[in-house]
Structures are given as structure tokens and as C-alpha cells.
Amino acid sequence: MEQFINITLDLLVGFGETLKIFLVTLAFSLPLGLIIAFGSMSKFKPLSALTRAFVWVIRGTPLMLQLITVYYGPGLIFGRVLLTSVSAVYITFSINYACYFSEIYRGGIESIAKGQYEAGQVLGMTRRETFFKVVLLQVIKRIIPPMSNEIITLVKDTSLARVVTYYELIYFAQRYIKNAGLLWPLFYTAVYYLVFTALLTFLFGKLEKKLSYFN
């Protein structure tokens, strides 16, 4: 029993590391995704083409490969390590998720009827005002379901960080196999992921409900 409690607490520390990846990634990728979305919708063709090509590459290759490239790549080219595993993870995850989010944002923004912009213009509102005061909340409402999917995927993707020696929850649990011959802590980690994703699902459900007063 004491061992169970100790391992639970130890894994909680590991989960803290997982949570760091999750939070830092969201903090950077949510706004970055909006910038990428605007880039990909730009009327300036070279910019939109370049942005879309970048998004295609990032979404079309495995996150694990991107992690390895960012972490080990500079070492292979310049002969020395440039990034700590922590920064490599934060950078790679943020960019990867920003690309996914950008596509969701773009879909959301493009789904808003053109009449909303026109109504804003005819009432003398600026484009900026129309976007922030009229369009944005409608976009948010529409993208909640796909965003919640993507964010829950992120929770689980954090486990990929260990390929570049970032010590997160799974790594913490695997140590018990090597050091103590215990297999169960590895399976036990599922509980942490499940509880956390349940919490997220609950929060997104609340948000969805809060915005259900209009359509």
C-alpha cells in the first residue's frame, strides 16, 4: 500500500512534466495558429502558397520524426547540440499543433456567411471591428468540437517527447520496469490520461453549452 502511494505520487510528478508540455504547447500554438491561418488565407498569393506548403509538410509527417529532426538535426549539421530536449519539445509541439489549429481556424473563419461582414460594413463598422465583435465568437462556437478533439489528442501526443529524452509520465513509469521489475505502473499511467481527458471533455462541454444560446 505504501508502495502504491509512493508510486502514485512519483507518477504525479511525471504527469506534471506531461502537463508542462501540454500547457506550453497550447500557450504558443493557439495564437500562432491564428497567424498561420491568416497567412494561408492571405490574398497575397506567394504568402498563402508558402504557408499552405508549410502546413502540408508539418501535417503530412509524423510528429515523432519532427521531434527527432529538431533535436538531433542541428547536431548532425553543425556538429553540436543547439537545443535542450525541453526546448526542442516545446518548439516542435507548438509548431506542429499551430498548423493543425490553423486549419481548424481557417475552416471556421471561412464558414461564416459573407453577409455578416457585409452587414458590418454597411453599418459603418471597420473590418477589424466586424472581425472581433461579430465574427470571432461565431468562429469560436463553430470550432469548439474540432478543437476539443485536437486538444485531447495533444494530451496523448505528449508521450512522444520521451524519444528526445524529455522525462514525462510514461518515462517515469518505465523506470519501474528497469529498476524494480514492476510492470503495473506503466499501465497505471492510463488513469492519469483518462482523468485529465475526462476533465477536458467536461470543460469543453460546458463551453459549448455556454455558447448554445445562439446559432
Partner 1 sequence: MNILEVKDLRKRFGDNEVLKGIDLSLKKGEVLSIIGSSGGGKTTLLRCLNFLEIANNGEIVVADKTVFSATEGEKPTIAPEAQLSFGLVFQQFNLFPQYSVIENLMLAPKLRAKRMGTGEKIEDIEERAKQLLATVGLTEKANEYPCRLSGGQQQRVAIARALMLSPDILCFDEPTSSLDPELTGEVLRVIRSLKDSERTMIIVTHEMEFARHVSDRVIFISDGVIEEEGTPEELFGNPKSEKLIAFLSAGQE
Q: How far is the CB of 43 from partner 1 (least distance, A)?
A: 16
DSSP the chain: -HHHHHHHHHHHHHHHHHHHHHHHHHHHHHHHHHHHHHHHH-SSHHHHHHHHHHHHHHHHS-HHHHHHHHHHHHHHHHSS--S-HHHHHHHHHHHHHHHHHHHHHHHHHHTS-HHHHHHHHHTT--HHHIIIIIIHHHHHHHHHHHHHHHHHHHHHHGGGGGGGT---HHHHHHHHHHHH---HHHHHHHHHHHHHHHHHHHHHHHHHHHTTT--
Residue 1 CA to residue 191 CA, distance in Å, equals 18
- 43 touching partner 1, by CB under 8 A: no
Candidate list 121, 149, 153, 165; residue touching partner 1; CB under 8 A: 121
Q: By CB under 8 A, name the one of 12, 49, 57, 137 that touches partner 1.
A: 137
- Using CB under 8 A, which of 27, 119, 183, 198 touches partner 1? 119
* Stretch in the footprint of partner 1 (CB under 8 A) among 86-94, 127-135, 173-181, 185-193: 127-135
Number of residues counted as binding partner 1 (CB under 8 A): 22
In this chain, which of 69, 116, 159, 174 binds partner 1, going by CB under 8 A? 116
Find where cell 471591428 sits: 129
| 118 near partner 1, rule: CB under 8 A | yes
Segment interacting with partner 1 (CB under 8 A) among 28-36, 95-103, 132-140, 186-194: 132-140
Q: Which is nearer to partner 1, 116 or 174 (CB)?
A: 116
Please, what is the minimum distance in Å from the beta carbon of residue 121 to partner 1?
7
Residues belonging to the chain = 215
> Nine-digit cell at 212?
448554445
| Binding residue (CB under 8 A) for partner 1 from 30, 41, 50, 125 | 125
Residue 120 contacts partner 1 per CB under 8 A: yes
Judged by the rule CB under 8 A, the positions of this chain that interact with partner 1 are 113, 115-116, 118-126, 129, 133-134, 137-138, 141, 211, 213-215
